[in-house]
Structure 1
Amino acid sequence: MTRVLITGANSYIGTSFEKYIQKFGDSYHVETLDMHDNSWKDVDFSTYDSVFHVAGIAHADVSKVSEEMKQLYYQVNTTLAIETAQKYKADLAGKSGQFIYMSSIIIYGEETTINKKRVIDSHTLPKPSSFYGDSKLQAEQGLQALETVDFHIAILRPPMIYGKNGKGNYQQLVKLANKLPVFPNINNERSMLHMNNLCKVVKERIDAQDSGIFLPQNSEYVRTSYMVRDIAQKNGKKIYLFSWMNWFIRLLGYVPGKVGRLTNKAFGNLVYEKDFFRIEVKSGIKNEN
Structure 2
Amino acid sequence: MRVLVTGENSYAGRQFEKRISERNGEWQIEFISVRNHEWKTNDFSSYDAIYHVAAIVHQKERKENEELYFEVNRDLTYELAVKAKSEGVKSFVFLSTMAVYGLIGKIGENTIISKETNEEPTSCYGRSKLEAEHKISSLQSSDFLVSILRIPMIYGYGCPGNYSALRKLAKKTPVFPKVNNRRSLVYIDHLSDLVQYLIEARKSGLFLVKNPDDVNTLVMVNEIALNNSKKIYNSILLGFLIKFFGNNFSVTRKMFGNIYYEKGDSEIDGFIYSKISFKESIEASEKVKLK
- Answer yes or no: same fold by TM over 0.5: yes
Q: Percent identity?
A: 41
Q: Which residue of 2 aligns with 1:74?
A: 70
Partner letter of residue 9 of structure 2?
N
Candidates 71, 76, 87, aligned match of 2:83: 87
Q: Which runs of 5+ in 1 are unaligned?
A: 281-289
Q: Which runs of 5+ in 2 are unaligned?
A: 270-291
Residues 168, 231 of structure 1: alpha-carbon distance in 2 compared, 3 angstrom cutoff = same
Does the aligned pair in 2 maintain the 1:212–1:279 contact within 8 Å? Answer: no
Residues 29, 279 of structure 1: alpha-carbon distance in 2 compared, 3 angstrom cutoff = closer
In the TM superposition, what is the alpha-carbon distance from 1:278 to its structure 2 partner?
6.4
- Provide the secondary structure at the position in 2 that maps to 1:275: helix
- Provide the secondary structure at the position in 2 that maps to 1:244: helix
How many Å separate the matches in 1 of 2:8 and 2:92? 17
Does the aligned pair in 2 maintain the 1:212–1:278 contact within 8 Å? Answer: no
Query: How do 1:141-180 and structure 2 match up within 5 A?
Result: 141-180=134-173
Query: How do 1:15-30 and structure 2 match up within 5 A?
Result: 15-30=14-29
Candidates 121, 134, 152, aligned match of 2:114: 121
How many Å separate the matches in 2 of 1:126 and 1:184? 31
- Provide the secondary structure at the position in 2 that maps to 1:276: helix
How many Å separate the matches in 2 of 1:81 and 1:241? 44
How many Å separate the matches in 2 of 1:232 and 1:254? 26
Q: Which residue of 2 aligns with 1:284?
A: none
How many Å separate the matches in 2 of 1:98 and 1:127? 28
Does the aligned pair in 2 maintain the 1:59–1:132 contact within 8 Å? Answer: no
- Provide the secondary structure at the position in 1 that maps to 2:73: helix
Residues 212, 278 of structure 1: alpha-carbon distance in 2 compared, 3 angstrom cutoff = farther
How many Å separate the matches in 2 of 1:99 and 1:6? 10
Partner letter of residue 51 of structure 2?
F
Q: Which residue of 2 aligns with 1:283?
A: none
Deviation >4 Å, runs of 4+ = none
How many Å separate the matches in 1 of 2:158 and 2:188? 10
How many Å separate the matches in 2 of 1:13 and 1:254? 31
Q: For the aligned residues, what is the CA RMSD?
A: 1.6
Is 1:235 aligned to 2:228, yes or no? Answer: yes
In the TM superposition, what is the alpha-carbon distance from 1:73 to its structure 2 partner?
0.7
Q: Which residue of 2 aligns with 1:264?
A: 253
